[in-house]
Amino acid sequence: MKILVSSCLLGEDTRYDGLNSSVAMNPKFKFSQKELFMDIMCENEIFSICPEVAGGLGIPRNKAEITSHSKPFKVLDIEQNDVTINFLLGAKKALDICLENGIKVALFKSKSPSCGNNSIYDGTFSENLIEEKGLSARLLEENGIKVFNEFELEELKKFIKKNRSL
């Protein structure tokens, strides 16, 4: 199955702080989780994107959070610069990769204002999480593409098994 994966989960240094969120190398994941992640990566056709970099932002860059979670969306960085257009462009590029390649599922980084699929920071830069989605995860799901995060690998595995023909 074709899967779109957040670049930082694959170990690419694309995060705002210039680091990555590698599942395989992160000590907070058990060996069994790393093994499952690697099995999924090796047994499927992987496409990779960092929507924020694809949207024109650099590495490193200022931390950013969504301050308006419905249209018109608004994303501000910690210095109050408006980076909404970069986030929207990155989301569109992620969707384009899916549409051009027939990708029906993504494995995206949790809590990210771009990639988070079920909770993200609330826009106050105070580490408070709320039940909202990052702009890329939202756009993919609005277009019928299922999004899992790195703590939902078992669910992703079940989805792959059930939808092998996709």
Contact set with ligand SF4 (CB under 6 A): 6-8, 14-15, 50-52, 109, 112, 114-115
Q: Which is nearer to ligand SF4, 1 or 57 (CB)?
A: 57
Distance CA 140, CA 43 (A): 23
Q: Smallest distance, Å, CB 86 to ligand SF4?
A: 10
Distance CA 61, CA 17 (A): 7
Q: Which is nearer to ligand SF4, 51 or 123 (CB)?
A: 51
Q: Which is nearer to ligand SF4, 1 or 8 (CB)?
A: 8
Q: Which is nearer to ligand SF4, 14 or 84 (CB)?
A: 14
Find where tokens 């899992």 sit. Answer: 148
Tell me the angle at which helices 135-142 and 84-101 cross, rounded to the nearest 10 degrees: 40
What H or E segment, with its residue span, contains residue 49?
A: strand 45-49
Q: Smallest distance, Å, CB 150 to ligand SF4?
A: 10
Distance CA 54, CA 154 (A): 28
Q: Smallest distance, Å, CB 131 to ligand SF4?
A: 18
